[in-house]
Structure 1
Amino acid sequence: MTLFEIIALAIIQGLTEFLPISSSAHLILPAAVLGWENQGLAFDVAVHVGSLMAVMIYFRQDILQMTTAFLTRGFSKNQTADSKLAWFVVVGTIPVVIAGFFLKSYIETDARSAAVIAVTTIVFGLLLWYADATAKLQKTLEQLNLRQSIIIGLAQMLAIIPGTSRSGITMTAGLMLGLNRESAARFSFLLSIPTILGAGLFATKDLLEAETAVDWSALIYGAGFSFVSAYLCIYLFLSWISRIGMLPFVIYRLLLGAVLVAFLLW
């Protein structure tokens, strides 16, 4: 890859990992539409490491409190809000781990196409619009319960289909369950930590087994630019989402889907 492609893909990964517009779609599309070479497994790991570090540093205080509460109160009858939230993140992650384990090969070989991305971009964009337009926006993250975290976790399973958007589908589920926009987004971001970590570990395992040559400068640039763009994205998204709502992202998804359909029919 050229330096421009490295920087562009890293910024795209960092921005789209946490916006409800699908990171996998935006990393697949340059190769399908612009003819760029596939970025490869090593680069994919690097940009996900950058995104993971961004979300972990942004939520470092939350992670510390949740971890401490989980270790001290997580297995007792006297649960705290932080220990409950830690359990909800664990429980909400289990479905996507199971789905990824059994469907990973199929998704990678049969579902990574512009046609699939076009359909999922539009369909799940409309679902996000419906969830946001009809949302009661009453509950905070402290009011989340086990049943709701399981439902959000089950929704996250759909994110293994390119174009769905992991953050988009979990926010959609959160809004449908009555969470306000910021709470739905925060829980989605917290859920992303074990999900991205697990996906990165699997990809690293595949990378080590492949024994391919590694362009370390590309990985460093990729991780660095992904980190910066992801951190800014999380900060700005949480600052603005309560005011702007999901409509701008819905419009973007519909436009992107329309462009993809036009590209396929051309």
Structure 2
Amino acid sequence: MASACTEGLDTGFATLGYAKVGVLGIVQGITELLPISSTAHMRIVPAFLGWQDPGSAFSAAMQVAALAAVVSYFWADVRGFAVGSVDAIRRRDFQDWNFRFVVWIILATIPILIAGELLKPVLNACHSPLRTLTVIGIACIVMSGLFVLAEIYSRPKRTLENTTLKDAMIIGLAQTGALIPGVSRSGSTLTAALFRDLTREEAARFSFLLGLPAIAGAGLKELWELHKAHLDAHGWSVLAFGLLIASLSAFAAIWGLLRILERFSTWPFALYRGLMGVFLLACVFFGWLPN
């Protein structure tokens, strides 16, 4: 089904109701933080179930759920960096590790802010050309190939404490790829971190911490856009329910990702994403799903 629009924003989720949004919240929460592309799944699942497309505004607003999950799961890290940075500023110790890492995260977020502003006219617009199954399918196949290359050529031995500003900026640049549906923010940053020879667990940790400003900015900005678009009370209540469900499933997704990386590396994701991309392109070619 086609998406609904509210003053130019894609707001199909408002017509779905609580039960359907709850199901999609689970899907969104899990796939948002796993490197498998939430956008791809949010196009496929509603289409096969015959539901209204929840729209790109739903996916963007769900960043708030991802933010809650990442902050709560990595609370010790978040608190340590925040308290350590404030203490470093108070002592004027600008070589302090906590302070430097926070500054690196801020600097590494600048590329996606610039790219996001440049792509703003098409990112969450109704019938966005970036949200087609063809684009998503190609992105999935490309990311699958990058996972394979990372597994073959990386030498995972470095930890977060061994990282540099150069590492942060490279991973920050990779994060801009997440603006293309199908790439996945966690997928692009995780892959870049692996190419920088971080261990798989530390690469995931770096990926999540580095993404906090971008995740927070994208989610809160979308909530503000929905407010300006005068989303009605029913739409807000449906969205709030979806956020609650998505935050719980996102927390579980982080736990699952770290366990998978510890036991199996990224090969399961490389295989899954490759098959996903081929399947999406086949859906378009044979007309099984609208592009």
Question: Which residue, out of 99, 107, 121, partners 1:91?
Answer: 107
Q: Check if 1:235 corresponds to 2:255.
A: yes
> Structure 1: which 5+ residue stretches go unaligned?
none
Q: Pick which of 216-225 and 205-214 moved more.
A: 216-225
1:61-210 equivalent positions in 2, closer than 5 A: 61-73=76-88, 76-108=92-124, 109-210=128-229
The answer as to whether partners of 1:54 and 1:227 remain within 8 angstroms in 2 is yes
Alpha-carbon RMSD across the aligned residues, in angstroms, is 2.0
Secondary structure of the 2:131 match is coil
Distance, in Å, in 1 between the alignment partners of 2:233 and 2:182 is: 28
How many pairs were matched up?
A: 266
Q: Check if 1:51 corresponds to 2:66.
A: yes
Instruction: Give CA-to-partner distance per residue, 1:105-160, whole Å, 9 cap, x none.
Output: 23342211000000000111111121122210011010010011001101111110
Q: CA deviation at 1:77?
A: 4.8
The answer as to whether partners of 1:138 and 1:179 remain within 8 angstroms in 2 is yes
The answer as to whether partners of 1:42 and 1:219 remain within 8 angstroms in 2 is no
The change in CA–CA distance for 1:69 and 1:182 in structure 2 (over 3 A counts) is: same
The answer as to whether partners of 2:62 and 2:219 remain within 8 angstroms in 1 is no
Given the two structures, how large is their TM-score scaled by the length of structure 2? 0.85
The answer as to whether partners of 1:128 and 1:169 remain within 8 angstroms in 2 is no
The answer as to whether partners of 1:70 and 1:87 remain within 8 angstroms in 2 is no
> Structure 2: which 5+ residue stretches go unaligned?
1-15, 287-291
The change in CA–CA distance for 1:60 and 1:246 in structure 2 (over 3 A counts) is: same
The change in CA–CA distance for 1:39 and 1:149 in structure 2 (over 3 A counts) is: same
Equivalent position amino acid for 2:95 in 1: Q
Question: How many percent of aligned residue pairs carry the same amino acid?
Answer: 38
Distance, in Å, in 2 between the alignment partners of 1:222 and 1:99 is: 28
The change in CA–CA distance for 1:116 and 1:35 in structure 2 (over 3 A counts) is: farther
**Residue 218 (structure 1) aligns with:** 238
Q: Pick which of 105-114 and 254-263 moved more.
A: 105-114
Given the two structures, how large is their TM-score scaled by the length of structure 1? 0.92
Q: CA deviation at 1:31?
A: 4.6
Instruction: Give CA-to-partner distance per residue, 1:42-100, whole Å, 9 cap, x none.
Output: 74465332221111111112111111222232594552322222122212211111110
Equivalent position amino acid for 1:106 in 2: V
Distance, in Å, in 2 between the alignment partners of 1:42 and 1:174 is: 29
Distance, in Å, in 1 between the alignment partners of 2:219 and 2:141 is: 27
**Residue 10 (structure 1) aligns with:** 25
The answer as to whether partners of 1:95 and 1:154 remain within 8 angstroms in 2 is yes
**Residue 8 (structure 2) aligns with:** none
Distance, in Å, in 2 between the alignment partners of 1:260 and 1:45 is: 22
The answer as to whether partners of 1:49 and 1:200 remain within 8 angstroms in 2 is yes
Q: CA deviation at 1:217?
A: 4.0
Q: Pick which of 57-66 and 168-177 moved more.
A: 57-66
Equivalent position amino acid for 2:245 in 1: F
Q: Pick which of 229-238 and 80-89 moved more.
A: 80-89
